[in-house]
Chain A
């Protein structure tokens, strides 16, 4: 990078970038701030920004009423489980698409993506009936499977694009040295694809965490994750902005923090083969 950067240009760019960044972040920031206000302060006019009596009351109320940990744990299990299961199913498929491509590989890949276009609401009844028949309504395992299936096309595609970037000569060399297919995938391919796999894991964990249709409609008390937790705070009777903000903050905080800490991995891998 030998590009000469004038301080003026850097200053302008910095100001603009910070301005836009803060603008985009504002709704989240405002929600977090509101969660520390009393209900009365939350609707005060003009709005108070920082100078109010900070209180943890809302968090206390929400915790007493709902028991956050149960929902959090379900979210972790469902999002984590579906992502891991998805990776296990997707790695072999992506390997064969990347290294043993056939004339139909691309069609299969695009077909997989097209399964994501089925409107979920249209199949609410069929899926509910299947779940009831199998006895997996309101179980974590049921949701793990559904979310895995929903995200599988994305996982396969992401892994496929990473694997394709790995020169096949390396795999061939390993094969010459007598590595079996299993060893080839486990000891040669996977370590090289770790950044890609990490990024895939992260993205799909986020997608599964935020999925709000099936997680609401296929759960009751046992497997309900944070999306159901939120549904008990939207528009109740009476003042609710501060409590809604607290519940919202609790629902998004874990994934937000995870995202912040792992953003380098996520960003590095999030290309879907967009870069050659």
Chain B
């Protein structure tokens, strides 16, 4: 099928994309590696090119490191579970014949268009604020003392914001998958008297497997490096410091480039562990 000629052509056609991405990955990575072995603190005017693994040892041993990895994993896992679970329910609902389907769909996907800084600002100031936020008004309406979300349940608040942002994306992909489900098959099952739960479990869910993996993969990629939502809302306080936020604090706030770069390398390693794990699953599913 594919001739030798087209194979050569294919290689040339891959070249620009592969080269560009290789450069985009290698240049900063090599520089970060270089910095990570140095004592580089520009505000002190210190630059000592080689200090061995000192930065790595310090970053690893600092009390914040383990916490930040844990926070990152909890955050990513929670948002994934929420968006996939609610996404499936919402997709099934949107698949029903309803009046005004087009408008409902517009309402549902809108959060996806909002830039992360804006959604963080809106949630922080207009929704979660203990004095003027909508939630505080609702709390007061029922005679309760307003809950201060960002200090009392900080991680939950950030998960809430992120889930709101990503639910539309999950819903859309899952909806497309549900729509492709053979409706005759479903009807046949319904005729046979299969209860709704069984139909969902044995027919719909397996069909969605591939779509779910894709939602998980794409969202994980974006969630591992979220920044604006934390920067705007808690600034990393109250146990919301993710690994990438810790790296930011080291590099930008402490201006310790060496230490922060070592942290950056740890972040790359963690991301790659997650990636390998994910790729295994997705790789399999991409073949299927």
Contact = CB atoms under 8 A, between A and B. Distances in A.
Contact of B118 (A47, A121, A230): A230
Top 3 A-B pairs, shortest CB-CB distance: A122-B264, A96-B10, A92-B13
Contacts of B98: 10, 13-14, 17-18
Given A116-B221, A245-B126, A156 B137 contact: no
A248 B93 contact: no
21 contacts: A13-B93, A13-B97, A17-B98, A27-B123, A30-B122, A92-B14, A96-B14, A99-B10, A110-B279, A119-B271, A120-B244, A121-B227, A122-B247, A206-B113, A212-B227, A230-B117, A245-B126, A252-B113, A256-B114, A271-B211, A274-B214
A51 to B, nearest CB: 16
Which of B2, B126, B131, B243 is the most central at the interface, judged by chain A CB atoms within 10 Å of its CB? B126
Contacts of A127: 28
B125 A244 contact: yes
Contact of B100 (A14, A30, A241, A255): A14
B260 A122 contact: yes
A195 interface: no
A129 B42 CA distance: 13
B159 interface: no
B225 A120 contact: yes
A227 interface: yes
Given A27-B127, A110-B282, A113-B221, A123 B32 contact: yes
Interface of A is mostly: helix
Contacts of A266: 109, 172
Contact of A121 (B25, B109, B217, B264): B264
B202 interface: no
Contacts of B228: 212-213
Contacts of A99: 2, 6, 10
| Residue picked from A100, A168, A226, A252, most chain B C-beta under 10 Å | A100
Interface in B11-37: 11, 13-14, 16-18, 20-21, 24-25, 27-29, 31-32, 35
Residue in B17, B107, B109 with the greatest tally of chain A CB atoms within 10 Å: B17
B268 A21 contact: no
B168 interface: yes
A9 interface: yes
Say whether chain B's binding surface is mostly helix, strand, loop, or mixed: helix
Interface residues of A, number: 97
Interface of A: 1-3, 5, 9-10, 13-14, 16-18, 20-22, 24-28, 30-31, 34, 42-43, 45-47, 89-90, 92-93, 95-97, 99-100, 102, 106, 108, 110, 112-127, 129-130, 149, 152-154, 156, 168, 172, 181, 206, 209-210, 212-213, 226-227, 230-231, 234, 241, 244-245, 248, 251-252, 255-256, 259-260, 263, 266-268, 270-276
Interface string B85-118: 0000010011011111101111111111111111
A254 to B, nearest CB: 10
Given A119-B243, A127-B28, A234-B232, A24 B97 contact: no
Given A14-B99, A119-B224, A267 B176 contact: yes
Contacts of B172: 266-267, 270
Contacts of A268: 176
